[in-house]
Amino acid sequence: MSYLEGDEEEAAALFVEKNRRLLETIDFSKSNSVQRSLSREMYDLILHYLGVRKLEKHSLTVLEHRPEDETTWVISRDKFESAPNRRYATGETGTAKVVDVSIEQLYADLPSPCTLADLPNEAKGDVAWIFAYFDELSDFECVVTPGGGSVELVKESSE
């Protein structure tokens, strides 16, 4: 695959458009020829445009939603970019996983104020990154502050 540097997104979208039928036959849960022949950045973009994963990159966090199994990953942007083979290790810092509930519903169900301990069992891993994600996006009207040896989230609309 050839493209001009800086046109990665357009190139990935075009690649998916032209090769969708073939791409839909590949099991992306395993190592595959597409993954082995492209940079990790291009592979991520192809999965995004194919709909296997939906990526949202922000300053501090990356949200990756996998519609097929209703799993959402919240990963530190630094870890996402610098350690692609460790992105999904929930036993390490920088990675949180939310299963069986949308990130929006998780936020809506949280009491205000709340701490990391108030997150439900559907949130696993380094869950402080979930609060970092909420804090970073203006969609979630909240303030996140350190407090009492943990992190506290206060929804602005409930004050």
**Cα(159)–Cα(152) distance, rounded to whole angstroms?**
14
User: Which pLDDT value is given to residue 120?
Assistant: 95
Q: What is the pLDDT of residues 44-95, one digit of tens each?
A: 999 999 988 999 999 999 999 998 888 999 999 999 999 988 899 989 999 9
Whole-angstrom CA distances from 72 to 8, 13, 28, 69, 95 are 24, 22, 17, 9, 11
Binned at pLDDT 50, 70 and 90, residue 159 comes out as very low
**Which pLDDT does position 143 carry in this prediction?**
93
- Which residues is 71 bridged to in the sheet? 66, 99
pTM, 2 dp:
0.82
Residue 157 confidence (pLDDT) above 80: no
pLDDT tens sequence across 114-131: 999 999 999 999 999 999
**Confidence bin at 4 (pLDDT 50/70/90):** low
- Report the C-alpha gap between 13 and 99 in whole angstroms: 28
Q: Which two tokens stand for residue 112?
A: 């205000």
pLDDT category at 2 given cuts 50, 70, 90 is low
Quick check: 132 and 60 in contact, CB under 8 A? Answer: yes
Residue 138 CB partners (closer than 8 Å, separation 6+): none
